[in-house]
Amino acid sequence: QKFRKWATTKIRTTCPHCGTGCQVDLLVKNNVIVGAEPADGPANRNLLCVKGKFASYKFVASGDRLTTPLIKRQGQFVPASWDEALTLIADKFTALKQNYGGNSLAGFSCSRSTNEDNYVFQKMVRTAFGSNNVDNCARVCHSATVHGLAHTLGSGAMTNTIADITTDVDVILLIGSNTTEAHPVIGSQIRQAVQHGTKLIVIDPRKIDLTKNSTMHLQAKAGTNVALINGMMNVIIREGLADQDFIAKRTEGYTAMRELVADYTPEKVAKICEIEPEEIINAARLYAKAGKAPIIYCLGVTEHSTGTEGVMSMSNLAMLVGKIGRPGCGVNPLRGQNNVQGACDMGCSPFDFPGYQKVADSKTIAKFEKAWATKLNPQIGLTSTQVLPAATRGEIKGLYIFGEDPIVTDPDTSHVRHALESLDFLVVQELFMTETAAYADVILPGISFAEKDGTFTNTERRIQRIRKAVAPRGGAREDYKVFCEVATRMGYSMTYDSPSQIMAEIAQVVPTFAGVNYKRLDILGSLQWPCRSLDDPGTPIMHVGQFSRGRGLFMAIPYKPAKELPDATYPYLMSTGRMLYQYNTRAMTGRTAGINKLANHSYIEINYEDANRLGIKDGDKVQVSSRRGKIQTYAAVGDQVMQSSVFMTFHFPDGNVNEITNPVFDDIAIIPEYKVCAVAIEPVK
């Protein structure tokens, strides 16, 4: 739509894609969003990436939007009234609960939706369904962060702020994060920091773009993070670079960790990681001797069968040199989706009520029974990665999926399909028809970030407003009102007038949100939790003076190899990950024509030498197979990956890489091992 800028209205909101939380002004004319401009938010400082600038709004007006409830009859979806659909949902879930108990029902909440929607969703599952089987997509990306950092530091979130770790720091230790593609605005800020003199250590199996700006790149084999960090700590301790004063005053568990890492000499670790011992020694010295040096990490650390151990290794390293609880330092996970931090904070977890208050603690159950005026199930629930196999076994009968597409996002797609087919009743609430929605008994239309009020919490624990810019499409209703209707029709009465009223309830039951309300957010622009009272300005840096758990806990963590390594039949080690232009399943970015022009198919990065040996040229169609199945994609031949390793994008239905990823899980966080599986590659004639 053509427009004159002066004829548009600007609505300040938060980008709906990654966890950076960029502030953006939507330009609205005649109830249509016609453009987006960067705003001066604390995380983005007037920057936006290609997704925020061009792909943050066109999907809102897409003709593909679901606008009315659909009920499946004789295999076909037919439009239905809200009353008909909600009655059917409530009746079916109630019958399943009566026949099989509340634990036969489960819900997956939406990390792209607001804190308020997520709060009401988990409340519906806990009160009306009578189960703690509620989870969100953090399970398959950063659940290891939540578990690993909470265990060692007492809080499972980024310790410092984006501005703090990219301004005036001496060294940045970047591990398992392709920042310029996955969190582009943070990537730009890292680049700017390097231009101003910061030294950058990149630890990544691929030559990511930021290696061009790095002082050193440790191209360690995927799946060897724990060994590498143990090796760096071995050097730091041996060379007297550990902060003994910090260790004595603020931590526990040091002796066991020191004894374990004594065995991880640089020579031994170099063989495991397939790098040189000097690289480990030099990286350890550079990080340990720096004054200010944050660790920044992402899914290259978490998405392993040892993901939680990898995260705890990050805590070990920072505590060893006393680089935590002060400016320009800390352990800083970059959370993936716009509100995946918030979905976790709001209790969309089988282990935690809102604010990480534990299901396993009887005092928590009593507290929420009082607050919500109902009896609650005290049994810890199932993770999303446990719900699907439980459905296959007939133990989960009913599932409500809000804004998730596990057929595309979860490992070993054929098992996910089988699990969804095994359910007695599936509800999907979505913006668009998705691969998962096709399996639903009832589909409800969801509403987008631009059609609602609410808050998102970005990767640095920053709670920011989103604001309604246009009216919802067709007959779509506000998501939290739909959950209230379902709960009420199932016998638990729940009503809210507005998202700000929901936030007021959150502030009452979550101590770390006690000082958060819409009035303060509108005046201050944002608040970082913990924010414990109305005069608390929020907490930019955590663990200052004392860890959230009291003393920081060192963990002695032996290295364990990935569960499936290359062999003669499947000789290549494959990792999966993001590309710059598209976001996750492309449900939103894939509706922007310009973005699709730039990136419209999957690809697999293959090293020159391997490609030559296999007779594959850049752009050729190739078949990639694993023990789970076969897919076809296009070869991207170069030197980004080392020999015998390959990397594949995960956004596209052509060559859905999760048909072949390995469904093995970390024992603690139950996160899948997306970053390592064994595959074979051959040209397609």
Site residues (vs ligand SF4, CB under 6 A): 15, 17-18, 20-22, 44, 48-49, 51-52, 183-185
Nearest residue to 455 (alpha-carbon basis) of 392, 515, 521, 507 = 521
| H helical segments located in 36-109 | 50-54, 82-100
What is the closest distance, in whole angstroms, from the C-beta atom of residue 584 to ligand SF4 in the complex?
Answer: 11
Q: How many CA atoms lie within 13 A of 415 on its CB side?
A: 20
What is the closest distance, in whole angstroms, from the C-beta atom of residue 14 to ligand SF4 in the complex?
Answer: 8
What is the closest distance, in whole angstroms, from the C-beta atom of residue 41 to ligand SF4 in the complex?
Answer: 9
According to the 3-state scheme, what is the secondary structure of 176-202?
Answer: CCCHHHHCHHHHHHHHHHHHCCCEEEE
What is the closest distance, in whole angstroms, from the C-beta atom of residue 465 to ligand SF4 in the complex?
Answer: 14
Residue type, 205: P
Place of tokens 């009353």: 83
What is the closest distance, in whole angstroms, from the C-beta atom of residue 18 to ligand SF4 in the complex?
Answer: 3
What is the closest distance, in whole angstroms, from the C-beta atom of residue 15 to ligand SF4 in the complex?
Answer: 3
What is the closest distance, in whole angstroms, from the C-beta atom of residue 455 to ligand SF4 in the complex?
Answer: 15
**Closer of 130 and 184 to ligand SF4 (Cβ):** 184
**Closer of 163 and 504 to ligand SF4 (Cβ):** 163
- Return d(Cα 444, Cα 57) in angstroms, integer: 21
**Closer of 296 and 427 to ligand SF4 (Cβ):** 296
**Closer of 384 and 464 to ligand SF4 (Cβ):** 464
Whether the ω angle into residue 16 lies within 30 degrees of 0, i.e. cis, is no
- Return d(Cα 620, Cα 60) in angstroms, integer: 35
Phi then psi dihedrals of residue 633, to 5 deg = -155, -170
Contact, 32 vs 4, CB < 8 A? Answer: no
What is the closest distance, in whole angstroms, from the C-beta atom of residue 23 to ligand SF4 in the complex?
Answer: 9
Residue of this chain nearest to ligand SF4 (CB atom): 52
- Return d(Cα 454, Cα 502) in angstroms, integer: 9
What is the closest distance, in whole angstroms, from the C-beta atom of residue 612 to ligand SF4 in the complex?
Answer: 36
Fill in the DSSP letter of residue 242: S
What is the closest distance, in whole angstroms, from the C-beta atom of residue 338 to ligand SF4 in the complex?
Answer: 7
CA dihedral 317, 323, 325, 326 (to 10 degrees): -160
Count CB neighbours of 72 within 10 A.
Answer: 15
List of E strands, 452-561? 454-457, 462-466, 526-528, 552-553
Count CB neighbours of 69 within 10 A.
Answer: 27
**Closer of 112 and 183 to ligand SF4 (Cβ):** 183
- Return d(Cα 67, Cα 63) in angstroms, integer: 10
**Closer of 483 and 650 to ligand SF4 (Cβ):** 650
- Non-local CB neighbours of 538 within 8 Å, separated by 6+ positions: 515, 526, 527, 528, 529, 530, 531
**Closer of 49 and 317 to ligand SF4 (Cβ):** 49
Contact, 442 vs 69, CB < 8 A? Answer: yes
What is the closest distance, in whole angstroms, from the C-beta atom of residue 43 to ligand SF4 in the complex?
Answer: 8
Phi then psi dihedrals of residue 640, to 5 deg = -60, -35
Cα–Cα separations (whole angstroms), residue 178 to 174, 393, 408: 9, 38, 21
**Closer of 512 and 592 to ligand SF4 (Cβ):** 592
**Closer of 41 and 154 to ligand SF4 (Cβ):** 41
Nearest residue to 1 (alpha-carbon basis) of 25, 21, 23, 31 = 31
**Closer of 124 and 344 to ligand SF4 (Cβ):** 344
**Closer of 316 and 455 to ligand SF4 (Cβ):** 455
